[in-house]
Amino acid sequence: METAIFHIGNAGLFFYRNGTGILIDGIYDGSKVGMSAMPEAWMADLKQCRGILQQVDGLLFTHLHPDHYQEQLTAAYCSQMAERGRQLTVYAPDWEASHAEVHDLGEDMCRIHIKNAEIITRRTIHDGGEPWKNDPHETFLVKMGNEAFFVSGDGVLSVEDATAFHRYAYHIDIAFVNLYQLGSESGMECIHALDADRIVLYHLPAQEDDTCHYWMIGMQAVERFTGTYGEEVEIAEHMAWIDAQVERT
């Protein structure tokens, strides 16, 4: 795999290849909603725009809930990057701060180009009941070079979603999915239909912050999915590179 991927925590992911950096759901504070706050080391780098955070070109959010997005920190980061001469492309569904050039593809799908990366978005319903299901939400396909990565966010998934994304990427290298998608019938069917080389469970809090027993539910979902389809599921480690590819940045 040529794309380097860093998992921050919660649903935060950074993708880097050929001089292009994409950060998705990576500025957040989930401490009041059963998830984790940003790690201290990440917060320090964010405030000083250093490390990985000086390599970002696109800042994307699947939706604007606090465990995916923190308003003040995001605004401050974008402002500091602009002062350093790096104008970020920012995007979230129905977000007034978005200034990405978005191309409508029909069927609730759009395309965004950010330097050498292509992002395919699809409008999906946020899982759970009221009021979350009515909040704008999109699931992403990140294409970098000849590689493609499915980023689920908190969307309710179906086989139709897998079919729609396969029109833009026949082959998917990694599917990042959450515990509810991995544990529901429609979610499992979608994940299986994606036929990704690897399935990674993400969007879990640090275990010491897990007041809602998400880790237990997640492990049960992994067991159910693997038992049904015979496909292995990896668990994303917080503040770690996928496959330890740190040297690629």
Q: In this structure, is residue 243 part of a structural domain? A: no
Q: In this structure, is residue 69 part of a structural domain? A: yes
Please compute Rg for the chain using Cα positions: 17
Q: In this structure, is residue 230 part of a structural domain? A: yes
Can you tell me the distance from the alpha carbon of 117 to that of 38, in angstroms, rounded to the nearest whole number? 26
How many CB atoms within 10 Å of residue 194?
23
Structurally, the chain folds into a number of domains equal to: 1
For residue 96, the domain's CATH number is: 3.60.15.10
Q: In this structure, is residue 228 part of a structural domain? A: yes
Q: In this structure, is residue 245 part of a structural domain? A: no
- How many residues are given for the chain? 249
Q: In this structure, is residue 226 part of a structural domain? A: yes
- Going along the chain, which residue ranges are E strands? 4-9, 12-17, 20-24, 58-60, 89-91, 102-106, 109-114, 117-123, 138-144, 147-151, 174-177, 198-201, 234-235, 240-241
Print the domain residue range for 63. 4-235
Sheet holding 89-91, edge to edge: 89-91, 58-60, 20-24, 12-17, 4-9, 240-241
Q: In this structure, is residue 242 part of a structural domain? A: no
**135-175 confidence digits (pLDDT tens):** 999 999 999 999 999 999 999 999 999 999 999 999 999 99
**140-150 confidence digits (pLDDT tens):** 999 999 999 99
**pTM for the model:** 0.95
Average pLDDT over residues 52-63: 97
**189-246 confidence digits (pLDDT tens):** 999 999 999 999 999 999 999 999 999 999 999 999 999 999 999 999 999 999 854 4
Phi and psi, residue 44, nearest 5°: -65, -45
